[in-house]
Amino acid sequence: MSEESEVIYVADLARILGRTEVSVREGIRRQASWLPKGFRMGIKHCWLRADVMQFLLDYRDGKIQTKPIRVGRKRQVPPTLKSIGR
């Protein structure tokens, strides 16, 4: 890829974000919030270089909200020797 290319593919985006191609593809599949908005050109996923750079600037400045962490069920208080009642 040349640095002047306006279109970025999965391998290029992975290199820019410091992730593996597999994690980028999994992020695409899961619609992860840490990925910039992209599009498909034929069978390839693509991003515009300017959009990726703007996304990174917005992410750095806190303008992009990530999805809240999903919380599991409440934990019960573990039993104590007194509550077992031997």
HEC string for 36-70: CCCEEECCEEEEEHHHHHHHHHHHHCCCCCCCCCC
The pTM score is 0.67
pLDDT higher at 43 or 64: 43
Mean pLDDT of 15-33: 92
Structural domain includes residue 30: yes
> Which pLDDT belongs to residue 3?
61
Q: How many structural domains does the chain have?
A: 1
Find the domain containing 15 and state its range.
Answer: 7-60
pLDDT higher at 14 or 84: 14
Structural domain includes residue 44: yes
Buried b (16+ CB within 10 A) or exposed e, 46-67: bbebebbeebeeeeeeeeeeee
Structural domain includes residue 73: no
Structural domain includes residue 31: yes
- Per the DSSP assignment, residues forming a β-bridge with 7 are 48
